[in-house]
Amino acid sequence: MASVRTRKHSLFGQKQSKLLMDLLVYVVLSVVGIIFIMPFAWMVANSFKDIRGIYQYPPTFIPEVWRFDNYHEAWTLTHFDLGFLNSAIVAAAVVLGQLFTASLAGYAFARLRFPGRDKIFLLYISLMMVPFTVLLIPLYVQMRAFGWISTLQAVIVPFLFTPWGTFMMRQFMVTIPRELEDAARIDGCGFFRTYWLIILPLTKPALATLAIFTFVNTWNSFQWPLIVLGKPKVKTLPLLLASFQNQSGMRTPWHLIMAAATFVVIPVLIAFIVGQKYYVRGIVTSGIKGGG
Amino acid sequence: MEANLAHTASKQRHKRSALEDFKRAFTGLRRGETIAGYLFLAPNFIGFIIFMLFPICFAFYIMLTDWSLAKAPEFIGFKNFETLVNDRLFWKSLGNSFYYTFVAVPTGIFIAFWLALALNRKMRGIIFFRTVYFLPQITLTVAAATIWRWIYQPEIGMINHILELIGINGPKWIHDTKWAMPSVIIMSNWQGIGFAMLILLAGLQGIPEEYYEAASIDGASGWQRMRFVTLPMLTPALFFVIVTSLIGAFQSFDQFYVLTQGGPAHATTPLTLYIFQNAFSFFKMGYGAALAAVLFVIILIITLIQWQLAQRWVFGFDQDE
- The full DSSP string for A22-71 is HHHHHHHHHHHHHHHHHHHHHHHHHTTS-HHHHH-SS--SS-SS--THHH
Model pLDDT for residues A22-72, shown as the tens digit of each residue: 888 899 999 999 999 999 998 898 889 888 888 877 777 888 888 888 888
Q: Predicted confidence band at B254 (pLDDT cuts at 50, 70, 90)?
A: very high
Residue ranges of chain B assigned to CATH 1.10.3720.10: 82-320
Q: What is the mean pLDDT of residues A218-235?
A: 92
The answer to whether the Cβ–Cβ distance between B135 and A115 falls below 8 Å is no
Model pLDDT for residues A109-156, shown as the tens digit of each residue: 998 888 889 899 999 888 887 888 999 999 999 999 999 999 999 999
The answer to whether the Cβ–Cβ distance between B69 and A141 falls below 8 Å is yes
B chain contacts of residue A46, beta-carbon cutoff 8 Å = 150
Q: Assign domain B82-320 one CATH number from 3.50.50.60, 3.40.109.10, 1.10.3720.10, 3.30.1380.20.
A: 1.10.3720.10
Model pLDDT for residues B78-130, shown as the tens digit of each residue: 999 999 999 999 999 999 999 999 999 999 999 999 999 999 888 888 888 88
DSSP 8-state code for residue B69: S
Interface of B with A in 227-246 (CB under 8 A): 236-237, 240-241, 244
Mean pLDDT of chain B: 87
In chain A, domain spans: 3-38, 69-288
Judged against a pLDDT cut of 60, whether residue B230 lies above it is answered with: yes
Which of A245-254, B47-56, B207-216, B308-317: highest mean pLDDT? B47-56
Q: Are B295 and A131 in contact (CB under 8 A)?
A: yes
Judged against a pLDDT cut of 50, whether residue A6 lies above it is answered with: no
Q: Are B315 and B230 in contact (CB under 8 A)?
A: no
Half-sphere exposure for A256 (CA within 13 Å, toward CB) = 21
Q: Predicted confidence band at A286 (pLDDT cuts at 50, 70, 90)?
A: low
Distance CA A199, CA A180 (A): 9
Q: Give me the interface pTM, i.e. the ipTM.
A: 0.84
DSSP 8-state code for residue B257: I
Q: Are A278 and A212 in contact (CB under 8 A)?
A: yes
| Whole-number percent of chain A with pLDDT over 90 | 31
Judged against a pLDDT cut of 60, whether residue A12 lies above it is answered with: no
The answer to whether the Cβ–Cβ distance between B190 and A280 falls below 8 Å is no
Average the pLDDT over each of A97-101, A145-149, A150-154, A261-265 and give the range with the smallest value.
A261-265
Report the pLDDT value the prediction gives residue A49, as an integer from 0 to 100: 87
Q: Predicted confidence band at A289 (pLDDT cuts at 50, 70, 90)?
A: very low
Q: Predicted confidence band at A4 (pLDDT cuts at 50, 70, 90)?
A: very low
Distance CA B303, CA B267 (A): 26
Return phi, psi of residue B72, to 5°: -60, 150
Q: Predicted confidence band at B318 (pLDDT cuts at 50, 70, 90)?
A: low
Report the pLDDT value the prediction gives residue A50, as an integer from 0 to 100: 85
DSSP 8-state code for residue B75: E
Q: Does B138 touch chain A (CB under 8 A)?
A: yes
Q: Predicted confidence band at B13 (pLDDT cuts at 50, 70, 90)?
A: low
Report the pLDDT value the prediction gives residue A177, as an integer from 0 to 100: 86
The answer to whether the Cβ–Cβ distance between B202 and A284 falls below 8 Å is yes
How many Cβ pairs within 8 Å bridge chains A and B? Answer: 275
Q: Predicted confidence band at A20 (pLDDT cuts at 50, 70, 90)?
A: confident
Report the pLDDT value the prediction gives residue A17, as an integer from 0 to 100: 80
Report the pLDDT value the prediction gives residue B209, as an integer from 0 to 100: 86
User: Which chain B residue has the Cα nearest residue A116?
Assistant: B22
Nearest CB to A115; choose among B25, B48, B115: B25
Distance CA B203, CA A204 (A): 25
Q: What is the mean pLDDT of residues A102-115?
A: 92
Distance CA A84, CA A92 (A): 12
| Whole-number percent of chain A with pLDDT over 70 | 90
Report the pLDDT value the prediction gives residue A168, as an integer from 0 to 100: 87
User: Which chain B residue has the Cα nearest residue A144?
Assistant: B69
Beta bridge partners of B75: B65
Report the pLDDT value the prediction gives residue B267, as an integer from 0 to 100: 92
What is the maximal distance between C-alpha atoms in chain A?
84
Fold (CATH) for A69-288: MetI-like fold (1.10.3720)
Q: What angle do CA B271, B272, B276 make, to 5 degrees?
A: 115
Model pLDDT for residues A204-220, shown as the tens digit of each residue: 888 988 888 888 889 98
pTM beyond 0.90, yes or no: no
Nearest to A269 by CA among B143, B309, B232: B143
Nearest CB to B296; choose among A108, A124, A134: A134
Q: Which residue has the higher pLDDT, B102 or A2?
A: B102
Mean pLDDT of chain A: 84
